[in-house]
Amino acid sequence: MAKGNPWIAGYDLLNEPEGTEQFEVYDRLYRVAREVDPDHIIHIQAIWDPVDLPHPSFYNWETWFTSITFMVGTI
């Protein structure tokens, strides 16, 4: 982790995960990252639909963002 490093924008914990079962894993990774670095943004992805994301209050996630990746031929 890069606690205190001004050049680090944030952490991408899992790249393009599939399904919704990954959120328990995301929560564990999020908590470990927060223990080491409480300040940087954490990237949490929902593939392929943003409605798959749990509400942030469900896991008490703070300072995070999401993005959606659409592959050619999937929309």
Three-state DSSP class for residue 5: coil
Over residues 25-39, the pLDDT tens digits come to 889 999 999 998 988
Structural domain boundaries of the chain?
11-65
Q: Which residues contact 45 (CB under 8 A, 6 or more apart)?
A: 12, 14, 15, 16, 17, 66, 67, 68, 69
Predicted pLDDT of residue 1? 58
Question: What pLDDT is stored for residue 74 in this prediction?
Answer: 54
For residue 48, pLDDT over 70 is answered with no
